[in-house]
Amino acid sequence: MEIDLSVIETAADSVPAGSAPVLSGYPVATQDVALNVPDEVPAGQVQAALAAGVAASGSASLLEDIRLFDLYTGEQTGEGRKSLAYTLRFRAPDRTLTVEETTALRDAAVAEAQRQVGAVQR
């Protein structure tokens, strides 16, 4: 097999240079939340509502990630309902976040999920 590297180099020149993400030297702060929602509400809609709640608080840049880690359906959730558990990851580029800060952000996220999709925190 023969490879013409000049073709690859030419193609690479037309692609914009990538940049590495800026990484914070400060630790991540996590908050878990379990929400009871109607069965018909998609998990993605709940996740979007959580993110919107953080954004509405004016701290969207602190939200690094939201991940669904548990889905539970059963007697304890109630008829026609399910429980979705998420981990919210927060990180500031310039400081270590306090428990009070991350709890307030989580509470803002839950309040928005309650408003948008009728979520109830377990």
* Contact of 65 with 89, CB cutoff 8 Å: yes
Within a domain: residue 112?
yes
pLDDT in tens, the chain (122 residues): 888 888 888 888 888 877 777 778 899 999 999 999 999 999 999 999 999 999 999 999 999 999 999 999 988 999 999 999 999 999 999 999 999 999 999 999 999 999 999 999 98
For residue 84, what are the contacts with CB-CB under 8 A and spacing of at least 6?
A: 34, 35, 37, 43, 46, 68, 70, 71
Number of domains in the chain: 1
Q: Which domain holds residue 84?
A: 27-121
| Model confidence, pTM | 0.81
Within a domain: residue 1?
no
The CATH number that applies at residue 102 is 3.30.70.380
Within a domain: residue 20?
no
Within a domain: residue 46?
yes
